Amino acid sequence: MSIGVIDLIRNRRSIRRFKRDFVRPEAIKVILDAGRWAPSAGNRQPWDFVVVSENEEKEPIAELYVEAYREEANDLLSRSDAEKLFKNPYEAKKRILSMLDLLRDQILKPPYLILVCADTELSRSYLFETGAAIQNMMLTASDMKLGACCIEIATTLLGEYFDKQKLKDALGIPPEIEVVALVPIGKPEVIPPRPGRKILRDFTHTEFYLEDKHDRDDTLY
Ligand SMILES: Cc1cc2nc3c(=O)[nH]c(=O)nc-3n(C[C@H](O)[C@H](O)[C@H](O)COP(=O)(O)O)c2cc1C
């Protein structure tokens, strides 16, 4: 196995602070090309990528993003699942509300925003397929010393508050096309420290899910 790929995978970070610096359009083409080489069931390739670079288009998207986080924060303490979602919902609310300007800049400062969309009628597994395409694109960006981040709005809590119809109307996206994620791309201003990961032993099972002999001896079926 090539050492390069595992290093690239380990060293890619989600970038949330960008410089406003110019990025060559050719670099975006390479990133989109990486997306199209993702695997898809029956090779159906259900993705559509909308590349947004004009401030005029980015500004309303940034406001929808900020508004979604603001609504999420303001609704948090009244949710019955708040304790499940966050260890400390009070702190989470405070943290989100203190980050709104940073979140706006996460969309506005990088020169490109790729909306990763999917034709929901083309493939049942479009979320898997766009996820694979996004990872390909983020790794390729990282390899070119560009920053990217996956802001997924199809299944996340944020997605519950994001006015996706307004986004679709603003960009003329037809009904059968779902916006799965926003992926800002630009030169990183801050590369965050590597966040922790679980260790292999915590989620890898060899032969049996329950590896502890006593667990199995005490279990009839
Ligand atoms: C489904 C999904 C949704 C995410 N949503 C957001 C988001 O809304 N905002 C954000 O800044 N990062 C978002 N991220 C990035 C994660 O926070 C990030 O992957 C995680 O903290 C691990 O950090 P790393 O990617 O640098 O290893 C999301 C990632 C995934 C896969």
Task: Give the pLDDT confidence score for residue 220 in this predicted structure.
Answer: 56
Is there a contact between 62 and 108 (Cβ–Cβ < 8 Å)?
yes
Task: Give, in words, the CATH class of 3-217.
Answer: alpha beta
Q: Which one of 150, 158, 164 would you pick to mutate in the ligand 1 pocket, going by the greatest count of ligand atoms within 8 A of its CB?
A: 150
Of 145-149, 179-183, 207-211, the one with minimum mean pLDDT is: 207-211
Task: Give the pLDDT confidence score for residue 210 in this predicted structure.
Answer: 80
**What is the model's pTM?**
0.94
Q: What percent of the chain has pLDDT over 70?
A: 94
Task: Give the pLDDT confidence score for residue 139 in this predicted structure.
Answer: 98
The pair of structure tokens assigned to 122 is 């083309």
Give per-residue pLDDT as tens, 163-176.
999 999 999 999 99
Ligand 1: centre distance to CA 17 (Å): 13
pLDDT of 72 > 70? The answer is yes
Q: How far apart are CA 111 and CA 23, in angstroms?
A: 7
The pair of structure tokens assigned to 19 is 């410089």
pLDDT of 51 > 90? The answer is yes
Q: How far apart are CA 111 and CA 22, in angstroms?
A: 6
Q: How far apart are CA 198 and CA 169, in angstroms?
A: 41
Q: Ligand 1: residues whose CB is within 6 Å?
A: 13-14, 16, 149-152, 156, 158, 195
pLDDT of 55 > 60? The answer is yes
| Contacts for 4 with CB less than 8 Å, ≥ 6 apart | none
Ligand 1: centre distance to CA 80 (Å): 24
pLDDT of 1 > 60? The answer is no
Mean pLDDT of the chain: 94
DSSP string across 158-214: HHHHS-HHHHHHHHT--TTEEEEEEEEEE-EEE-PPPPP---GGGT--SSSS---HH
Give per-residue pLDDT as tens, 87-101.
999 999 999 999 999
Give per-residue pLDDT as tens, 103-137.
999 999 999 999 999 999 999 999 999 999 999 99
**Atom 27 in ligand 1: which residue has the minimum CA distance?**
13
**Atom 30 in ligand 1: which residue has the minimum CA distance?**
150
